[in-house]
């Protein structure tokens, strides 16, 4: 195998592809959970994936896999394989899963149907994708920022300003529809989820300009992906919804959800949000490294 980019989350997809080939003929063909520890930067060069079955039970298989370059382990992954369900086929009478139309079920967090959105300007570094960000969520972030209290406000006024309404979870959000740009590409598959999980805008970028930290880069240390559903038949095979919520040091998550359509204008089903499914949920631990441009002064912090 060969690494064609130094993007670590893309390399996790290489690991999952290698393990998927090994697991295809077993009782546990689907990845259920993946935790990847990034140990060293990648080179754009050939790589080797070493796979070890740790345990194989009736329902699940535990597997360790390392991506190695030049004799050095660059990524160490711990994986759980089993049989992934198709949540879109779940019956509302199944008491193990709460799904729409139950009023308690969680709807897809993206607010705009992809068929009603205009794609953003192409990004020179991400030529493989067409992206359309959810502007309603941008407005929601701006409204939260405007509630920040002034320094002269009383303690009680500051507390009220910082206390989010019941309809909000605090923190900041980001969401977008992502569509593979080349019609000749393979359709979406589970091995692509780590890469998509790493495409969200991080919290410092979402902060108001006056609150943003000093110029830094944010190196992922550990990436965890929990796979929730197979990609259902009848949904857009090349379009994916991404949603990220960041709550500073207390919590944060990134969801990948199915898409009802491509990014093109067409008639839509007004109940589309109730019919989408969550495909995967990801969390990350990253290191903030100030860009001081001086090797002697470079430090890092979580």
Domains belonging to the chain, first-starting first, are 1-83 (3.10.129.10), 86-132+171-290 (3.10.129)
Q: Looking at 84-98, 169-183, 227-241, 276-290, which range is the least confident one?
A: 84-98
Q: How confident is the model at residue 177 (pLDDT cuts 50, 70, 90)?
A: very high
Q: How confident is the model at residue 2 (pLDDT cuts 50, 70, 90)?
A: low
User: For residue 37, is pLDDT > 80?
Assistant: yes
pLDDT at 30: 96
CA dist 42 and 49 (Å) reads 13
Rounded to an integer, the average pLDDT of 59-71 is 96
pLDDT at 301: 41
Which is more confidently placed, 292 or 20?
A: 20
In the sheet that holds 30-38, the strands lie side by side as 48-56, 61-69, 72-82, 30-38, 216-227, 278-290, 251-258, 239-247, 172-180, 129-133
pLDDT at 16: 96
CA dist 134 and 243 (Å) reads 9
Compute the CA torsion angle 123, 145, 249, 191 (nearest 10 deg): -30
pLDDT at 219: 80
Q: How confident is the model at residue 95 (pLDDT cuts 50, 70, 90)?
A: low
Inter-residue contact 238 to 187 (CB < 8 Å): yes
Rounded to an integer, the average pLDDT of 162-181 is 70
Give whole-number Cα distances, 169 to 9, 40, 52, 117, 172, in Å. 28, 35, 41, 25, 9
Q: What is the mean pLDDT of the chain?
A: 80
Residues in the chain, total: 302
pLDDT at 68: 95
Which is more confidently placed, 247 or 121?
A: 121
- Percent above pLDDT 90 for the chain: 30
User: For residue 138, is pLDDT > 70?
Assistant: yes
Q: Looking at 91-100, 189-198, 210-219, which range is the least confident one?
A: 91-100
User: For residue 205, is pLDDT > 90?
Assistant: no
Pairing of strands 72-82, 239-247: unpaired
Rounded to an integer, the average pLDDT of 249-276 is 76
DSSP summary character for residue 214: S
User: For residue 202, is pLDDT > 60?
Assistant: yes
User: For residue 293, is pLDDT > 70?
Assistant: no
State the residue for tokens 């790589």: 47
Q: pLDDT tens across 9-35, in order?
A: 899 999 999 999 999 999 999 999 999
Q: Cβ neighbours of residue 216 under 8 Å, at least 6 residues apart?
A: 204, 288, 289, 290, 291
Rounded to an integer, the average pLDDT of 131-142 is 89
Which is more confidently placed, 287 or 69?
A: 69
């Amino acid at each position: 195998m060969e690494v064609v980019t130094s993007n670590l989350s893309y390399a996790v997809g290489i690991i999952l592809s290698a393990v998927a080939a090994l697991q295809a003929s077993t009782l546990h063909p689907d990845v259920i959970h993946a935790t990847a520890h990034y140990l060293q930067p990648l080179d754009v060069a050939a790589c080797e994936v070493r796979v070890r079955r740790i345990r194989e039970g009736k329902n699940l298989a535990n597997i360790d896999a390392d991506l190695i370059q030049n004799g050095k382990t660059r990524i160490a992954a711990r994986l759980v394989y089993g049989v992934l369900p198709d949540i879109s086929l779940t019956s509302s009478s199944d008491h193990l899963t709460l799904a729409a139309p139950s009023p308690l079920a969680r709807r897809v967090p993206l607010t705009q149907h992809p068929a009603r959105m205009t794609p953003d300007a192409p990004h020179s570094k991400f030529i493989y994708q067409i992206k359309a960000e959810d502007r309603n969520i941008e407005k929601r972030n701006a409204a939260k920022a405007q509630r920040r209290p002034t320094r002269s406000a009383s303690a009680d006024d500051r507390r009220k300003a910082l206390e989010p309404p019941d309809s909000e979870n605090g923190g900041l959000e980001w969401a977008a529809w992502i569509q593979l740009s080349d019609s000749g590409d393979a359709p979406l598959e589970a091995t692509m989820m780590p890469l998509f999980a790493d495409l969200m805008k991080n919290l410092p970028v979402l902060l108001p300009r006056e609150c943003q930290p000093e110029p830094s880069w944010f190196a992922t240390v550990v990436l965890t992906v929990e796979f929730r559903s197979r990609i259902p038949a009848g949904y857009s095979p090349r379009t994916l919804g991404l949603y990220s919520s960041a709550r500073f040091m207390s919590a944060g998550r990134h969801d990948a959800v199915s898409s009802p359509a491509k990014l093109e204008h067409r008639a839509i089903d007004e109940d589309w949000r109730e019919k989408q499914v969550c495909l995967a949920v990801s969390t990350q631990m990253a290191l903030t490294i100030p860009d001081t441009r001086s090797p002697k002064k470079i430090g890092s912090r979580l």
